[in-house]
Amino acid sequence: MKFTEPAGTNPIDRMTVVGRPQDRIDGPRKTTGTAPYAYERHAEAPDAAYGWIIGAAIAKGRIRSMNLDDARGAPGVLGIVTAAEAGKLNKGNFNTVKLLGGPEIDHYHQAIAIVVAETFEQARAAAGLVQIDYERAKGQFDLDEALKTAPLTGGEEGKPGKEDRTGSFESAFSAAPVQLDATYTTPDHSHAMMEPFASIAIWKGDELTVWTSNQMIAWGRGDLAKTLGMPKEKVRLVSPYVGGGFGGKLFLRADAVMAALGAKAVGRPVKVAMQRPLMANNSTHRPATSQRIRIGATKDGAIQAIAHESGSGDQPGGGPETAVNQTKLLYAGPNRLTSMRLAVLNLPEGNAMRAPGEAPGMMALEIAMDEMAEKLGMDPVAFRVKNDTQVDPEKPDRQFSQRQLVRCLEEGAQRFGWNQRNAKPAQTRDGRWLVGMGVAAAFRNHMNMKSGARVTLNKDGRVVVETDMTDIGTGSYTIIAQTAAEMMGVPMSAVDVRLGDSDYPVSAGSGGQFGAANATAGVYAACVKLREAVAQRLGFNSAELNFADGQVTGGNRSVALRDAASAGPLTAEDRIEFGTLDKTYQLSTFGAHFVEVGVDAYTGVTRLRRMLAVCAAGRILNPKAARSQMIGAMTMGVGSALMEELAVDKRFGFFVNHDLAGYEVPVHADIPHQEVVFLEEADDKANPMKAKGVGELGLCGVGAAVANAVYNATGVRIRDYPLTLEKHLDRLPTIA
């Protein structure tokens, strides 16, 4: 099904199952420990041996020699694979850096060997006996230093990069009576997902099956096949349950490659869970940014000029953190400049982490908006409302398909009690706490992705959906069951959803908050086909059929749905594809985040007190699951504001705090009351589901809302994330 025109009325609009707060159908499996994760495939691989990954101990250089003799002779050892043993491997399409290093080393903790043994402990002990002699080379690990000479991105292949300009920024900025020019920095972030990268690899002849933890089955399958130099038809990837990914599991990673190589070498299934202390440096991370923002406005607060220039770094051949995305679209203003610089760094590979681009971009832009509002003497809500735009500011004849940012801000302000905020900072005390409120807009683009599914009606009337879509803790099982139930007119309990297997049709996968809308649209497309097949089997001529309560009704005739399968199962397969509506219209999601914090007047520690998000993101398929996405993302936003930072050792080129003891993320005790409100919407330009996504919207803006609340509490502006206590302790208001 190709989606080329705005959606008309369709069966989803009934919203008898879709749009309701359904419980997660995978919930009981997860809470009883019966949902098998990648490392727990005991039935499929009862005799699996254990793999231990050795990571490089230098950031750049080469391995002069490796002595494996002692390790090979250690108890229980079945085999060791290094680059020398592995032979020629290719780099995956989605990998910037190869996943098995040696003799050249590209980054610290790049995998250089897998030790396979009968037990986990034996593999670990033997790995300690491997002797490696390195030749360390000089690398660039200092972003600030590297950005001094870093080129602009955005040029054509092989050509110099360029700025994006509309109007004349410099002259409009210098003529503006009120100006802001400030630089904001965000550190490197780690996905730090609960379930580590984990894989079990099984070879049968030249066919490879890998049980793994991955967000994008087709990408992973293709890249595993490419890496190993085999046809992708010979690779099966299975990932029906994923314990968090946040973008870290969008791509093939070392666990799957090393498990496959290990299993081949020892002739047995091999299971690998990447050791926690390896994860931060071995895998990808969200790159640090340095962002300069300039805003010029009239005295009454109309933005005349806005510039956002961001710099980040990556391995050679990598990409920038696209932190200027939202600044192209969020606020009005005739004179605009955005640009990105990309430095070459020899730190681990930078890549997507939840809301790549907008998450760190909004952390900067939405502090800048707060600072500008203060300069103007305007309320920060009113300043944002004044500069709303209903068209793409760079291409004014392009409208947003839907844009209720103003309503999100105004309704949020009212619900949160924003009028209680004292615009003058450091005025509100509650015992030892300096109390402040902050606001930020939320913004994240919506992406269309092709997505396929297969739907089968069985004799017993049950409907089975198969798609390689993943559920990374988001609720994919549930919203897909809701979609099929709504389309086929059966209860959710009559739908079986099978996910995360490369034997199933290729879906959008889970990423970029595109998963829910696109994967369900693919299921919708397959269900439309199945409805046609049902109609034909049951001998209906009319196209106007009603599927409800297990019956198919047309004219004055009503037949049980299951009768269509009495002669055998009926199967239909299709995928959703898209025309150019996303070019004609700008498809985006919006929201407003409100935060109240207390800053300890004596210690400088910040504690959250209240959070509210109001969102407008198209049809909300399952308000309960969507709320969970929001509160999870808001929690992550608090982490990015107050805690999260991969500390770079600029001498040796690695992230120092590479475990969950050193890399701090919020825990339950850090997070107070969170409220989430969804405005009623249905975006007919997005897809037949009229849905977009919220999984990343929930994060975009939160960091700045926290930072703005901290400023309102203390009167000390911090532009360097995370907002740890030492950054304002010496400037806090004097304690009487």
Q: Which amino acid is at 618?
A: G
C-alpha–C-alpha distance, residues 473 and 24, integer Å: 10
State the binding string over 308-347 for ligand MOS (x if CB under 6 A, else -).
----------------------------------------
According to CB under 6 A, which one of 356, 361, 554, 698 is a site residue for ligand MOS?
356
Sole window of 352-360, 363-371, 407-415, 422-430 interacting with ligand MOS (rule: CB under 6 A): 352-360
Report the residue number, 314 or 410, with the smaller CB distance to ligand MOS: 314
Report the residue number, 246 or 711, with the smaller CB distance to ligand MOS: 246
Report the residue number, 515 or 522, with the smaller CB distance to ligand MOS: 515
| Contact in structure between 525 and 513 (CB atoms under 8 Å) | no
C-alpha–C-alpha distance, residues 713 and 389, integer Å: 30
Is residue 192 classed as helix, strand or coil in its secondary structure?
coil
Report the residue number, 123 or 250, with the smaller CB distance to ligand MOS: 250
Indicate the Cα dihedral angle 640, 644, 650, 653, nearest 10°: -110
According to CB under 6 A, which one of 107, 253, 354, 384 is a site residue for ligand MOS?
354
Q: What would the two tokens of residue 637 be?
A: 């936003």
- Which helix (H) or strand (E) segment is 436 a member of? strand 433-445
Q: How far is the CB of 286 from ligand MOS (least distance, A)?
A: 8
Report the residue number, 363 or 612, with the smaller CB distance to ligand MOS: 363
Smallest CA-to-CA distance from 349 within 277, 262, 251 is with: 251
Report the residue number, 193 or 611, with the smaller CB distance to ligand MOS: 193
Q: What would the two tokens of residue 160 be?
A: 């110099």
Sole window of 243-251, 436-444, 524-532, 650-658 interacting with ligand MOS (rule: CB under 6 A): 243-251
Judged by CB under 6 A, how many residues of this single chain contact ligand MOS? Answer: 11
C-alpha–C-alpha distance, residues 581 and 593, integer Å: 29
Q: What would the two tokens of residue 605 be?
A: 């520690």
Which residues 495-524 are close enough to bind ligand MOS by CB under 6 A? 511-512
Does residue number 247 form part of the binding site for ligand MOS (CB under 6 A)? yes
Which residues 260-299 are close enough to bind ligand MOS by CB under 6 A? none
For residue 434, report the phi and psi dihedrals to the nearest 5 degrees.
Answer: -85, 125
Sole window of 12-20, 41-49, 178-186, 245-253 interacting with ligand MOS (rule: CB under 6 A): 245-253
| Contact in structure between 589 and 582 (CB atoms under 8 Å) | no
Sole window of 240-248, 333-341, 398-406, 657-665 interacting with ligand MOS (rule: CB under 6 A): 240-248
Q: How far is the CB of 508 from ligand MOS (least distance, A)?
A: 11
| Contact in structure between 366 and 705 (CB atoms under 8 Å) | yes
C-alpha–C-alpha distance, residues 728 and 730, integer Å: 6
Q: How far apart are the first and last CA of the chain?
A: 69
Report the residue number, 247 or 500, with the smaller CB distance to ligand MOS: 247
Sole window of 37-45, 121-129, 149-157, 350-358 interacting with ligand MOS (rule: CB under 6 A): 350-358
Q: What would the two tokens of residue 644 be?
A: 């999260």
Return the residue nearest ligand MOS (CB atom): 247
Report the residue number, 79 or 511, with the smaller CB distance to ligand MOS: 511
Q: Cβ-count burial of 225 within 10 angstroms (0-12 exposed, 13-18 middle, 19+ buried)? A: buried
Report the residue number, 279 or 353, with the smaller CB distance to ligand MOS: 353
Catalytic residue among 5, 121, 696, 726: 696
C-alpha–C-alpha distance, residues 131 and 115, integer Å: 13
Does residue number 193 form part of the binding site for ligand MOS (CB under 6 A)? no
H helix and E strand count, the chain:
17, 33
Q: How far is the CB of 326 from ligand MOS (least distance, A)?
A: 15
Sole window of 95-103, 231-239, 246-254, 559-567 interacting with ligand MOS (rule: CB under 6 A): 246-254
C-alpha–C-alpha distance, residues 727 and 711, integer Å: 12
CA atoms within 13 A on the CB side of 30: 17
Report the residue number, 269 or 515, with the smaller CB distance to ligand MOS: 515
Q: How far is the CB of 724 from ligand MOS (least distance, A)?
A: 25
Q: Which amino acid is at 656?
A: V
Q: How far is the CB of 607 from ligand MOS (least distance, A)?
A: 28
Q: How far is the CB of 517 from ligand MOS (least distance, A)?
A: 14
| Contact in structure between 593 and 379 (CB atoms under 8 Å) | no
Q: How far is the CB of 512 from ligand MOS (least distance, A)?
A: 4
According to CB under 6 A, which one of 56, 116, 180, 250 is a site residue for ligand MOS?
250
Report the residue number, 105 or 323, with the smaller CB distance to ligand MOS: 323
For residue 555, report the phi and psi dihedrals to the nearest 5 degrees.
Answer: 60, -130
C-alpha–C-alpha distance, residues 92 and 705, integer Å: 38
Is residue 394 classed as helix, strand or coil in its secondary structure?
coil
Distance from CA of residue 520 to its chain's centroid? 18
Does residue number 632 form part of the binding site for ligand MOS (CB under 6 A)? no
| Contact in structure between 195 and 242 (CB atoms under 8 Å) | yes
In which residue are the tokens 């499996």 written? 29
Sole window of 236-244, 351-359, 393-401, 480-488 interacting with ligand MOS (rule: CB under 6 A): 351-359
Is residue 486 classed as helix, strand or coil in its secondary structure?
helix
Sole window of 10-18, 99-107, 242-250, 523-531 interacting with ligand MOS (rule: CB under 6 A): 242-250
SS3 content of the chain, % helix, strand, coil (to 5): 30, 30, 45
Sheet with 429-430, side-by-side order of all strands = 429-430, 433-445, 588-600, 606-616, 673-678
Q: How far is the CB of 193 from ligand MOS (least distance, A)?
A: 10
Report the residue number, 330 or 353, with the smaller CB distance to ligand MOS: 353
According to CB under 6 A, which one of 81, 353, 581, 614 is a site residue for ligand MOS?
353
Sole window of 224-232, 353-361, 665-673, 676-684 interacting with ligand MOS (rule: CB under 6 A): 353-361
| Contact in structure between 370 and 595 (CB atoms under 8 Å) | no
Does residue number 352 form part of the binding site for ligand MOS (CB under 6 A)? yes
Residue 5 a catalytic site member = no
Pairing of strands 433-445, 451-457: unpaired
Query: Hey, CA dihedral for 370, 371, 372, 373, is it positive or negative?
Result: positive
Does residue number 463 form part of the binding site for ligand MOS (CB under 6 A)? no
Which residues 198-227 are close enough to bind ligand MOS by CB under 6 A? 215
In which residue are the tokens 């050791």 written? 275
Q: How big is the chain by its Cα radius of gyration, in Å?
A: 27
C-alpha–C-alpha distance, residues 716 and 729, integer Å: 9
Report the residue number, 477 or 594, with the smaller CB distance to ligand MOS: 477
- Applying CB under 6 A, the residues found at the interface with ligand MOS are 215, 245-247, 250, 352-354, 356, 511-512
Catalytic residues, by residue number, are 696
